[in-house]
Structure 1
């Protein structure tokens, strides 16, 4: 292209040389659609896609390995837990089976005293007073054993006040000798295990006589 000065202004005029220059300039500045610099970009994109695909495959393989490891760990833990439950159940059964051993040892001592008292009673020359003393000692030993294991007798002597939480009335006897709701007689003693009434005392109580 050429510029000429006409009337103090530059005027553009085409020429063969300028056309050749323009074509070469355009070919260098504007990328070709087929071939040229676009082909190079496509090769870069293909390489990036292959790299991304390779990374995804490696990540999937790592995740699968992690899943396999966790599954194996879970199965091992589940098996260990089942074995623990079996061992624990067996231990509980053993404890239940022999939990009364200390109790039985104390009862054996009481049984020994009863056997000695019976053997003494079978003798023709048995001393009645000695026999009674032996039985009393055995009874005291037995009651001490019960108290040491948390069992105590409910107070329910005749003349004491009736308590519906501790006593069970089986009969009411009208009398003016005692106040109303007073224990007159004990048919069967009651017992408390630690803080729980396991058997109330069976008693008769007084009631006001009818006029």
Structure 2
């Protein structure tokens, strides 16, 4: 029973409808907040992606420029080391009245300059001594000759070889002892 000053108790249907209305009112707010948050995060990630992409492109471009410069100026040190040799040869040509001994002395000095310049630039001679075991990676056998040495050893060097930083630029031309 109800008295006149009291309101009637809500029914179960009314309570369910009120709860559903309250939930429906809060769902759009939650979804809208989630959507706004997701859009904000998407904008941040898009910005970060574009920045990373630009950085990668800049790094690639700088790498290409550095490689191009390295190729362009790779021989600069070697050319600098060759200039004294050119100067010595030019000076020798400028003295037509030099004696044979003076010319020979100048040639030896120029050869030392050239050898020094090659060594500074990691161009080293391959000049095996007689009796050295034949190495097909560094030597090229021109012929086999009978000799009183172990088979497959260097008998004579016909032409020196050269290495450039441990890579064979030109193998040494050698004669090799034949098996007995």
TM-score range (shorter-chain normalised) is 0.7 to 0.9
Q: CA separation of 1:207/1:93 partners in 2, compared to 1, >3 Å: closer, same or farther?
A: same
Q: Distance in 2 between matches of 1:118 and 1:160?
A: 40
In the TM superposition, residue 167 of structure 1 has moved relative to its aligned partner by: 2.3
1:167 aligns with 2:112: no
In the TM superposition, residue 41 of structure 1 has moved relative to its aligned partner by: 4.2
| 1:1-150 map, 5 Å | 24=1, 36=11, 38-120=13-95, 123=96, 125-150=97-122
In the TM superposition, residue 47 of structure 1 has moved relative to its aligned partner by: 1.5
For structure 1, which runs of at least 5 residues remain unmatched after alignment? 1-23, 26-30
Q: CA separation of 1:132/1:53 partners in 2, compared to 1, >3 Å: closer, same or farther?
A: same
Q: What count of residue pairs does the alignment treat as equivalent?
A: 173
Check the 8 A contact 2:144/2:178 in 1, yes or no: yes
Check the 8 A contact 2:145/2:177 in 1, yes or no: yes
Q: 1:206 aligns with which of 164, 177, 180?
A: 177
Q: Which has the larger radius of gyration?
A: 1
Structure with larger RCO (C-alpha < 8 A, sep 6+): 2
For structure 2, which runs of at least 5 residues remain unmatched after alignment? 3-7
Q: Distance in 2 between matches of 1:98 and 1:90?
A: 12
TM-score, normalization by structure 1? 0.70
TM-score, normalization by structure 2? 0.81
Corresponding position of 2:5: none
Q: Distance in 2 between matches of 1:183 and 1:163?
A: 6
